């Protein structure tokens, strides 16, 4: 068990959230489902929380009610090694959601994700600031990130 795990505050759909995310990412599973007891605050036997793993990372989805909807103030960053990975996660997580600029999207539950290639971080950290600036400028024009276009900007093309 990891020391710190994100807890997603859900409005009655914690099981659906956990099932969806574990279907999108490989090496994922639902670990436990906790139910309300007669002490409440929800109906006895109803789902209080679901713990699950996404590619080995532990999460919890808790049915806390409608008081706290998700905002882009926190997002989940997905490291991608290929355009194929970007395309996969973009399609799956974006279904029923909304795309944003620079590789961000909001999924159908309102959770914000950043779907980005590892190569982007390497290019943006290049000590040649002209290369890094070209990559940043190219990225700022994109919705879903395209590795080939970013690499072309990096090379100066």
Q: Mind listing the pLDDT tens digit for each residue in 7-47? A: 999 999 999 999 999 999 999 999 999 999 999 888 999 99
Domains defined along the chain, listed by start: 7-63 (3.30.720.100), 75-155 (3.10.180.10)
Packed helices 129-140 and 147-155: angle between N→C axes, nearest 10 degrees:
150
Q: Give a three-class secondary structure readout of 50-89.
A: EEEEECCEEEEEEECCCCCCCCCCCEEEEEECCHHHHHHH
What share of residues in the chain are helix, strand, coil (percent, to 5)? 35, 30, 35
| Nearest alpha carbon to residue 33 among 55, 14, 56, 20 | 14
Q: What is the pLDDT of residues 74-113, one digit of tens each?
A: 999 999 999 999 999 999 999 999 999 999 999 999 999 9
The chain-wide mean pLDDT, for the chain, equals 96
The side-by-side arrangement of strands in the sheet containing 104-106 is 75-80, 112-117, 104-106, 98-99
What residues contact 147, with CB distance under 8 A and at least 6 apart? 82, 83, 86, 117, 119, 120
> In the structure encoding, which two tokens stand for residue 72, read together?
């882009």
The DSSP secondary-structure symbol of 125 reads T
- Confidence bin at 71 (pLDDT 50/70/90): very high
Check whether 68 has a pLDDT greater than 90. Answer: yes
Check whether 56 has a pLDDT greater than 80. Answer: yes
What is the mean predicted confidence (pLDDT) over 54-62?
96
Rounded Cα distance, 66 and 112, in Å? 18
């Amino acid at each position: 068990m990891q020391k710190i795990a994100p807890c997603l505050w859900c409005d009655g759909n914690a099981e659906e959230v956990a099932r969806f995310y574990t279907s999108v990412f490989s090496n994922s599973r639902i670990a436990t489902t906790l139910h309300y007891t007669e002490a409440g605050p929800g109906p006895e036997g109803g789902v209080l929380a679901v713990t699950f793993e996404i590619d080995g990372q532990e999460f919890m989805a808790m049915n806390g009610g409608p008081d706290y909807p998700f905002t882009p103030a926190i997002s989940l960053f997905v490291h991608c090694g290929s355009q194929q990975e970007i395309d996969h996660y973009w399609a799956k997580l974006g279904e029923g959601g909304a795309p944003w600029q620079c590789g961000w999207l909001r999924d159908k539950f309102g959770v914000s994700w950043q779907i980005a290639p590892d190569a982007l971080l390497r290019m943006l950290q290049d000590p040649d600031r002209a290369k890094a600036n070209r990559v940043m400028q190219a990225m700022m024009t994109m919705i879903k990130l395209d590795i080939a276009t970013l690499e072309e900007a990096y090379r100066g093309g």
